[in-house]
Structure 1
């Protein structure tokens, strides 16, 4: 296609030409204002130049479409499994701790007969693996999901015998590699680091540190260095940030290859690289936006070289997934693979100067973090010392501030909310006290080179229930001083809490908490800012009362406010109109406004009448702490008290307040 050039009819342009135009547009502002500072510790540039071609980082073409086994009962789960397989799913994930109740290995017949790879959930135990494999033959493909260090971080506890912390999973891995050659025992996962709010660098660095810890333990138990590395796969979170996801999946391959180089062995190019959309990006409100987020996530993971991809159903944050949401989750990958042809080219991002630079920056930063963890004695010691939680919290705090200020926008929640939206919330499941560990009538040998796992498999095969297998394989644990990681956070949650309170208030009194929008001047003065203000307060569930036209007389403004049901008001117009129409804020205060907001930046305060300046309680503008302002507004409007009243009424009358709303 050398004859085909899109730019052949245009004069050539150099980077210097581009920079000259940019400098003119910036009007003296520094070039760095066009850079985007990432949580990963470096910035992206508005323009990248470099070589037109680059060697492929991976040869992956296509990926497995993973669907979870889910259902209210085993029969329901088997029906859904049959539907998934008939309609394009090519692998299944199995969470024995949170999926349908399965007590005996014989009940897994339909799962094993499906003939597709089976991925046990990350952090699964040797008992879970034995339960799955007890009735399986040696051709089974998948992973048993061992990721004990990440599981320790989530649980906030570690084995009391630190030297033998990985002994039971290593014992199981040795047996699995011998009897089930197509099963990858260990799956180093980023789920906890992502769930706790970490950056992509944190995810990559800590996940690599976990993988290396498992690698060392396997080698120490007798596997060759090469065989040990092949017993380890990776599971990364595929975020909705398209380019970061592409770069992250390419970077983990570079990091694993670098670790192999340091160990003096040839890298394993055929690693299991499992992608899953993280729960953190899901929203309860405007849940259909989750489909767009998931599409970007799958696109990034596919381009980055994932070998298996699992998508959370779009409504999962609010309710049990429906057949529709499960089908869309499955079809997201199918459409991108079979209709968008993302699987036609290996590493299609190779040669992109931006993606290559981003990949290398992520890999370099993650390698530096990995080395710091190693210098602290490895990931387990770094976890116990508090280094891991402190590092994750530092990034999480930065992200929380950006979300609160709406610098990181959540469509449908913190920006462009729809107050007329009806959300079907489910009643939270009751908290059930942890059951006592069942008594068992058999003992397991100490972990060794597979003997303990073989005994678990034998017990599962003869019908010992899963709870008893887990009880028999328990080890004594100590609590981590820093406690468990909070991995259940969702980015949208702080704003959604405000919306839920307002929805409860609506159910209680029949109207939303109101704010009077004090429009000043003519439509050209206030139109753009008016739409922004309405969206701003709607993010907190507050409905703005909008007059039919703007005011040019402050007494008429005060009279209109008095006639409205709103106890608070927000002045809205252009900066020039604020200065021209003196006394508006003061008039609202005299009319009884308990709080007066003004839409605009702090620079305009100096142009206001002194009485107006003292009457304004708070400014709202792009970049302010929106979350804090909306929380304060709800306190002024007593939204939480009304929400509590609605909750008590719901309990008394035995109805769901959200359904009524």
Structure 2
């Protein structure tokens, strides 16, 4: 039996002391054994990961490169660690469910069910993209509006919706209402491209803010929504920078209208996307509070600079195929949002990309937050990531990148001018183009879509959602390129009764071909092409015979490099002779390409390009 010393339990007491230099030597040794000639001085760089916004994630963080261990205190400027000075038994975040069903009766049923089962506030989409403004009262019939905050999102109709909501509160004699009227003129302009009406819309938004400041102290009027930029493909720093520029533009309008700076700051709520990249989400929310606190400090009101944050699980990451995986994505994203200190979190239902959610999807969405709060107790710890050298460094680097982008927007004349000139669209579009290249090459895998797709699973059917606002920045999805391929395959199946096929010519014993057969099958299924795999011998004639019986028009040779040396060329020629319109080979192209091999498929290759070309070749219509 081991007796602990009086001084306590030291975790590393029985291990020899080490140093970063010794670690680098060990890393270099491992890399050399894997075939990479790397010296100890270059070991860290060899394992570093390049992120967006010019940020590099290192494999090891210490006090030397991790920046300040802790930045401030929760509830105090610069608010990096949280906007609220809460400790002890913190209750967690506001569980905010989104509702955009146009039918007010069905919307009301869903609203009441949510509130009775864990949701603590409502996000109501009104106007052309959701509930009719005239139906707002019906949608919240039976809701205790002094207990459940309501956030509106009415796009161009924000003034009508906001004033309608104020009348509802007056008619029901609700004095302590909380929430937000959702005026977001710049965000709507970014989505719609309607820049000529922004000045008037800002004036209307300011009027609502003055009403709230005077008569409804618990109610805010303005939302700074960063989702239009995130959904257009913005990087985290671009999303933050655009939100800063928008917030500053609204602050100017509010103070020009006579509101004191603290009151103007108190009229704004910020909305950000939370993704399944948990550390980037945590750091992004922390960085957002830090840079906004810098704005408040510059405006002379540092104590009023606590940013109110609403985090929404990213629509960009929601896949239409294998939508059940979206539950896992939103779980990680909502965990990151809670750890990052968001005041309110909306978990989009797993069927969000398919249309309006059903009851089960909404139930899973609200229970995701409930489990994290009630069972995992995530909300009981203030800033649990604080002090992590990695998170602190990432927070700092994101804040610096976001501030630089914000300054560039300001030099261009502010957010509206940057939108009008196309600066925002250009930069965000370039960022998405780079990311789309990674997605096409499966460097950023999408489970169930570009990796491990299930061709036999039926597409989820849901009631269609209202058509979103368009005309400005585009809306992108990670699954878009592969979804287009799968849709072509579905149409081909409906028209012909069969999917396009590829014959996998597996050469040699299982130990030689299994890995590449699995790789090729996975890749072709991502494009809706059904793999046909019949174990065959190394005899070219038997390969050709099996191909002819498969009903495929495409073929892919799968084996080891050693067998390819002798068999790739004759087998490819035999497949061509049997009618294969294109012969692929699983593996990187050799210095001298094999005769009759038309294309090569390998990790890091352009999967979307290969699959698109294959479908085009065999006549699968676009």
Asked if Structure 1 and Structure 2 have the same fold, meaning a TM-score greater than 0.5 normalized by the shorter chain, the answer is yes
Give the corresponding residue for 2:112.
82
CA shift at 1:100, angstroms? Answer: 3.7
Give the alignment partner of residue 614 of structure 2, picking from 633, 638, 642. 633
**Alignment pair present for 1:54 and 2:54:** no
Give the corresponding residue for 2:49.
36
The alignment covers a number of residue pairs equal to 584
**Alignment pair present for 1:154 and 2:188:** no
How far apart, CA to CA, are the structure 2 residues paired with 1:14 and 1:272?
42
CA shift at 1:586, angstroms? Answer: 1.5
Whether the aligned pair in 2 keeps the contact of 1:58 and 1:269 (CA below 8 Å) is no
- Relative to structure 1, the CA distance from residue 96 to residue 565 in structure 2 (aligned partners, 3 Å threshold; closer, same or farther) is same
Give the corresponding residue for 1:583.
570
How far apart, CA to CA, are the structure 1 residues paired with 2:432 and 2:620?
28
How far apart, CA to CA, are the structure 2 residues paired with 1:106 and 1:551?
72
Give the corresponding residue for 1:546.
533
How far apart, CA to CA, are the structure 2 residues paired with 1:544 and 1:350?
48
- Relative to structure 1, the CA distance from residue 164 to residue 86 in structure 2 (aligned partners, 3 Å threshold; closer, same or farther) is closer
Give the corresponding residue for 2:141.
110
Whether the aligned pair in 2 keeps the contact of 1:520 and 1:526 (CA below 8 Å) is yes
CA shift at 1:580, angstroms? Answer: 2.2
CA shift at 1:269, angstroms? Answer: 5.3
Give the corresponding residue for 2:499.
512
Give the corresponding residue for 1:196.
232
Q: Give 3-state SS (helix, strand or coil) of 1:8's partner.
A: coil
1:309-348 per-position Cα deviation (integer Å, ceiling 9, x unaligned): 1111101211431111100000000100111010111101
Which structure 1 residue ranges, 5 or more long, are not aligned? 435-478, 642-661
Give the corresponding residue for 1:125.
158
CA shift at 1:72, angstroms? Answer: 5.8
How far apart, CA to CA, are the structure 2 residues paired with 1:258 and 1:299?
27
CA shift at 1:425, angstroms? Answer: 3.4
1:245-274 per-position Cα deviation (integer Å, ceiling 9, x unaligned): 000000011001111222222232543211
TM-score by length of 1: 0.84
CA shift at 1:430, angstroms? Answer: 10
1:219-268 per-position Cα deviation (integer Å, ceiling 9, x unaligned): 01001112111111211111111000000000011001111222222232
Whether the aligned pair in 2 keeps the contact of 1:138 and 1:181 (CA below 8 Å) is no
How far apart, CA to CA, are the structure 2 residues paired with 1:18 and 1:106?
64
1:341-391 per-position Cα deviation (integer Å, ceiling 9, x unaligned): 101111011100000000000000101111111111111111111111001
Which structure 2 residue ranges, 5 or more long, are not aligned? 1-5, 74-80, 85-89
- Relative to structure 1, the CA distance from residue 76 to residue 498 in structure 2 (aligned partners, 3 Å threshold; closer, same or farther) is same
Give the alignment partner of residue 138 of structure 1, picking from 159, 175, 180. 175
Q: Give 3-state SS (helix, strand or coil) of 1:377's partner.
A: coil
CA shift at 1:112, angstroms? Answer: 5.2
Higher relative contact order (CA 8 A, sep 6+): 1
- Relative to structure 1, the CA distance from residue 363 to residue 429 in structure 2 (aligned partners, 3 Å threshold; closer, same or farther) is closer
How far apart, CA to CA, are the structure 2 residues paired with 1:180 and 1:307?
20
CA shift at 1:186, angstroms? Answer: 1.3
CA shift at 1:597, angstroms? Answer: 0.4
CA shift at 1:152, angstroms? Answer: 0.7
Q: Give 3-state SS (helix, strand or coil) of 1:92's partner.
A: strand
How far apart, CA to CA, are the structure 2 residues paired with 1:363 and 1:284?
33
CA shift at 1:277, angstroms? Answer: 1.2
How far apart, CA to CA, are the structure 2 residues paired with 1:104 and 1:80?
15
- Relative to structure 1, the CA distance from residue 554 to residue 40 in structure 2 (aligned partners, 3 Å threshold; closer, same or farther) is same
Give the corresponding residue for 1:562.
548
Q: Give 3-state SS (helix, strand or coil) of 1:393's partner.
A: helix
**Alignment pair present for 1:598 and 2:585:** yes
CA shift at 1:101, angstroms? Answer: 4.0
Give the corresponding residue for 2:31.
26
- Relative to structure 1, the CA distance from residue 72 to residue 372 in structure 2 (aligned partners, 3 Å threshold; closer, same or farther) is closer
Whether the aligned pair in 2 keeps the contact of 1:91 and 1:116 (CA below 8 Å) is yes
How far apart, CA to CA, are the structure 1 residues paired with 2:218 and 2:391?
33
Give the corresponding residue for 2:209.
173
CA shift at 1:189, angstroms? Answer: 1.3
CA shift at 1:424, angstroms? Answer: 3.0
Whether the aligned pair in 2 keeps the contact of 1:247 and 1:356 (CA below 8 Å) is yes
Give the corresponding residue for 2:309.
273
CA shift at 1:401, angstroms? Answer: 0.6
How far apart, CA to CA, are the structure 1 residues paired with 2:199 and 2:364?
46
How far apart, CA to CA, are the structure 2 residues paired with 1:590 and 1:135?
76
1:186-225 per-position Cα deviation (integer Å, ceiling 9, x unaligned): 1111111001001000000000110011011100100111
Give the alignment partner of residue 228 of structure 1, picking from 257, 264, 267. 264
**Alignment pair present for 1:624 and 2:605:** yes
Give the corresponding residue for 2:406.
370
Whether the aligned pair in 2 keeps the contact of 1:105 and 1:134 (CA below 8 Å) is no
1:580-608 per-position Cα deviation (integer Å, ceiling 9, x unaligned): 22511112112221101011112x353x6
RMSD: 2.2
Whether the aligned pair in 2 keeps the contact of 1:319 and 1:424 (CA below 8 Å) is no
Give the alignment partner of residue 342 of structure 1, picking from 378, 383, 387. 378
1:421-459 per-position Cα deviation (integer Å, ceiling 9, x unaligned): 122335868989x9xxxxxxxxxxxxxxxxxxxxxxxxx
Give the alignment partner of residue 537 of structure 1, picking from 513, 517, 524. 524
Q: Give 3-state SS (helix, strand or coil) of 1:125's partner.
A: helix
Give the corresponding residue for 1:475.
none
Q: Give 3-state SS (helix, strand or coil) of 2:583's partner.
A: strand
- Relative to structure 1, the CA distance from residue 211 to residue 2 in structure 2 (aligned partners, 3 Å threshold; closer, same or farther) is farther
Q: Give 3-state SS (helix, strand or coil) of 2:134's partner.
A: coil
Give the corresponding residue for 2:19.
14
The 5-angstrom pairing of residues 469-548 of structure 1 reads 484-487=472-475, 489-547=476-534
How far apart, CA to CA, are the structure 2 residues paired with 1:424 and 1:109?
29
How far apart, CA to CA, are the structure 1 residues paired with 2:19 and 2:573?
57
1:103-126 per-position Cα deviation (integer Å, ceiling 9, x unaligned): 256535526534301111274611
1:17-59 per-position Cα deviation (integer Å, ceiling 9, x unaligned): 1111111122224532311111222211111112794244225
Whether the aligned pair in 1 keeps the contact of 2:265 and 2:305 (CA below 8 Å) is no
Give the corresponding residue for 1:473.
none
